Amino acid sequence: MYKMMKLVDTVRIPPTLLGEEVSQTVKNALREKLEGQVDKKLGALVAICKIVEIGEGHILVGDGAVYYDVTFEAIMFVPELQEIIEGEVVETVGFGVFVGMGPMDGLLHVSQITDDFISYDAKNARLVTKNGGKSIAEGDHVRARVVAVSINEREPKESKIGLTMRQTALGKLQWIEEARKKKQSHEAVPEGAA
């Protein structure tokens, strides 16, 4: 889930930038320092939106830079348990698919895609169901539920987000639409006509 948060941090402005306009220099320094960073409790910092307040600058002995305490608003991505997400399949492997959901990827294990048996078609880089004739591959759009979250702030790429599509109204968006149309066509048939 994306959230707007008000945060506070200290930013270092090197002496070479001291002649520049302070608010823009501070915003650029914050972006360089924090955007893309992951915190276990706060999630991934996606973008710094607005500087709320810049405190008085401090100079440390032996360092010509100025340090500012800054209050700012930022957009954070925080995956939450039981949250429904929509994303694009970014990689298909033998044990499942990775789904891009903003700044992080979640794993949709083969056991969590459908009730049908699934095999990996390495030649076409896709997962195929045994009986239903359905497949899922890179570029497909899916709707899934977050069932496990383990954020690694030191190595964000090592974070693990587990997903499932084995519930009603979840799955590859194409499958959901086909099921909806099939249900509508069955409801449109008058009683006794079938």
Average pLDDT, the chain: 88
Which CATH superfamily includes the segment(s) 83-186?
A: Nucleic acid-binding proteins (2.40.50.140)
Question: Tokens standing for 68?
Answer: 């500012």
Amino acid identity of residue 166, one-letter, is R
pLDDT at 4 over 80: yes
Domain spans of the chain? 2-77, 83-186
CA–CA separation, 118 vs 98, rounded Å? 16
C-alpha–C-alpha distance, residues 61 and 40, integer Å: 33
pLDDT tens-digit series, residues 111-136: 999 888 999 988 988 999 888 688 99
Nearest to 87 by CA among 146, 132, 168, 4: 146
User: Right CATH number for 2-77 from 3.30.1490.120, 3.30.43.10, 3.90.700.10, 3.40.50.1820?
Assistant: 3.30.1490.120
Checking if the pLDDT of 156 tops 80, the result is no
Sign of CA dihedral 60, 64, 70, 72: negative
What pLDDT digit, counting tens, does each position of 60-108 carry? 888 888 999 999 999 999 889 999 999 999 999 999 999 998 888 999 9
102 or 6, which is more confident? 6
Reference 175, options 119, 116, 120, 122; nearest CA is 116
- Predicted TM-score (pTM) of the model is 0.76
Question: Quick check: 67 and 15 in contact, CB under 8 A?
Answer: no
In terms of DSSP bridges, do strands 141-150 and 135-137 run parallel, antiparallel, or are they unpaired?
Answer: unpaired
